[in-house]
Amino acid sequence: MASFDPSNVNLYEADPAEVVCFINASGNDYDGRLGARISSIFVILFVSTAVTFFPVLALRSPKLKIPLYVYMFARYFGTGVIIATAFVHLLDPAYAEIGPNTCVGMTGNWALYSWPPAIALTSAMCVFLLDLGADLYVESKFGIAKMDTANVIVENLTTAEQTPPPTLDEKRTFDVVHLDPEAAERSFEQQIAAFLILEFGVIFHSVIIGLNLGVVGDEFTTLYPVLVFHQSFEGLGIGVRMSTIPFKRGSWMPWLMCLAYGLTTPISIAIGLGVRTTYNPNSNTANIIAGVLDATSAGILIYTGLVELLASDFIFDPKRTKNRKRIAFMVVCTLAGAGIMALIGKWA
């Protein structure tokens, strides 16, 4: 690249990789506004953590009497958010970082293959194998298949599906199904592994966007509020899925995992601010790390979103409601979550 002269380029003879790499080689665009950037740490910490905690509180604190449809909205909106995050917020950026038309993707061994889909495919297959292994383990240990114990934690209460008719409070709320200890143990073991993989994928993405928020330039004004919504919606998806896991009463794990998600982006923003004069998000090293992590997370969330969430809730759940109005509401919430999160991808 040292011989490349951007002021004297013959497009017929120039190496396209040199042109692309030169355009991509700028440093970070940090332009001050330190106070606003510091405020983003606390705003995102509070909002994303609160939203992540909400579904867990809703199920573990029946006295709050959260309306059933509020919880359902959060649950299925969160499903749509996770799926849109996989395709729009992870796989697409991976192409922009290490895809065929990038500086990384046009140089060295990165130019030999389109790596983003390969990495995403590999991570999805790895999650599948882990999921299958967990299923076989539970089946061997308890003599029961995963599908037989799926989705037994929350039971929807409706006049049409319950006898005798529910009270007014029951129509507005949902109850926790109390499982016997063995059923609770096998359900927990089946679900916790899938959830940890999901949170692992989301947290990777949160680290990257947090670092970038600390050093972006003109885009900061738009990116700041967008990321507040972005992290809140992702947190909602995380919290809802965690709320259905049958943790033992008094367990600290759900609260700790909620907090882990809430802290990830603020800590990353703080780190970004700490290295604001030296960190270059456009360098080859940064692009390779971000691209590989984004593609890996995309594969995890694609599998989790489509298999563990969408197909499990709508297609293979033997306890799925037969109430067509409720099914329509679930579908609309899922589509809304996917659509809104995909729209946010225009800015973040």
Q: What is the pLDDT of residue 163?
A: 39
Output the six-digit token pair for 222: 């738009």
**How are beta strands 175-176 and 154-155 bridged, if at all?**
antiparallel
Q: What is the pLDDT of residue 177?
A: 44
Strand-pair partners of 155: 175
For the chain, what is the radius of gyration of the CA atoms? 23
Reply yes or no on whether the pLDDT at 61 is more than 80.
no
**Structure confidence by residue, pLDDT tens digits, 186-206:** 667 667 877 888 888 888 888
Q: What is the pLDDT of residue 269?
A: 92
Average pLDDT over residues 2-31: 76
- The reported pTM is 0.82
Q: What is the pLDDT of residue 183?
A: 54
Distance CA 109, CA 18 (A): 16
Reply yes or no on whether the pLDDT at 312 is more than 50.
yes
DSSP code for 109: G
Reply yes or no on whether the pLDDT at 29 is more than 80.
no
Confidence bin at 2 (pLDDT 50/70/90): low
**231 burial type by CB count under 10 A (0-12 exposed, 13-18 middle, 19+ buried):** buried
CB burial of 302-328 (b: ≥16 within 10 Å; e: otherwise) equals bbbbbbbbbebbeeeeeebbeeeebee
> Torsion over CA of 6, 7, 12 and 16, rounded to 10 degrees?
10
Number of other CB atoms surrounding residue 157 within 10 Å: 18
E-strand ranges in 82-214 read 154-155, 175-176
Give the torsion sign (CA, 292, 295, 297, 303): negative
Bigger pLDDT: 12 vs 163: 12
Q: Where are the domains of the chain?
A: 34-145+180-346
The overall average pLDDT reported for the chain is 82
Output the six-digit token pair for 336: 């809304």
